[in-house]
A and B are shown apart, each in its own frame.
Chain A
Amino acid sequence: MLVERELIERARAGDAPAFNEIVFAYRKRILGTISRLIGRPEDVEDVAQEVFVRLYYSLDQLRSAEVFEPWLYRLTVNASYDYLRRAKRRSESRMADLSEQQVVMADSLAGGRQEQDEKQKSQTREFMDALFRHVSEEDRLLLTLKEVEGLSLKELEQVYGVNENALKVRLFRARQRVLKAYRTAVANGKL
């Protein structure tokens, strides 16, 4: 844990400086997690702030300081889920744009190395984002937490509050759905 239990207790009691310390300790980690969960750097800070606002207003519901981290993860997952649902409503699938982006990538090979790297990263994010659009937000978040964030099944159990076997089944099914979308993308020559 990044902070002392006593600090969490103080924040629960309404101590604003203690809450500030918790935010300082966790904000970078939460920003990183959200960045990988939603894949849109421009909106990461906004979602992170929403997580900490929810934390502030629900600290009194925390059972004990021991479960603080899984609980904070749960708040992060919920806020990311809400964001993704809103974003899904706003935009259409960008799968069709991928080929065009790759053409642009090939054209820019003459550019600087750093610029190329950045574009490749951006392309990877776009591609994963497009793949994730073919599965539900729940699948996306679960797979990202497991495969990208590297959370163990034990940790996921605490975040989701379900047993390991149920999680394994959900993970397997989510992975199958992403694989299906991946194969379709490969067959259509988008990778």
Chain B
Amino acid sequence: MTGNDDSRLDDLFHAYRAACPDVEPGADFMPRLWQRIEVRHSFGFLFQRLARTTMTAGAALCVFLILLNFVSPSQSRGTPPSYVDALLADHTAEKTYYTEAIRLTPPAENPAADGQH
């Protein structure tokens, strides 16, 4: 049964080969082909130009940003370089704590200080 089906399928493949006609190219085969090539060429050319322009603009932007990165630190010389450094340099908070601690001391416990004022 299987072998029989196999050979029938082979026959069918042969019949299919005979049933598929030899297609003759039409008279306008070559002109149409060149037309299609041209259409794709013009589209490809347009795409290529667009891609090149985008790439150039991107590269220019990169260069500009790099230059900006070099120029900015030199212009801001004299200011603290970073937030952490600014915090370290600032001692006002510590002074405040001392001041507050002195002011909170009750006057009765420190008569000498009251006498001075």
- B partners with A: yes
A interface residues with partner B (beta carbon < 8 Å):
20, 23, 27-28, 31-32, 34-36, 39, 41, 44-45, 48-50, 52-53, 56-57, 120-122, 124-125, 127-128, 143, 147-148, 175, 178-179, 182-183, 186
- Identify whether the interface residues of B are mostly helix, strand, loop, or mixed: helix
Judge whether B6 and A49 touch: CB under 8 Å.
no
CB neighbours (8 Å) of A23 from chain B are: 30, 33
Q: Which residues 65-87 of B have a CB within 8 angstroms of A?
A: none
Nearest to A125 among chain B residues (CB) is B19
Nearest to B28 among chain A residues (CB) is A45
- Name B22's contact: one of A32, A49, A56, A121 (CB within 8 Å): A32
Judge whether A27 and B9 touch: CB under 8 Å.
no
CB neighbours (8 Å) of B32 from chain A are: 49
- The 7 tightest CB contacts between A and B, nearest first, are A121-B19, A124-B19, A147-B13, A31-B23, A128-B16, A36-B20, A44-B23
Nearest to A37 among chain B residues (CB) is B20
Judge whether A45 and B23 touch: CB under 8 Å.
yes
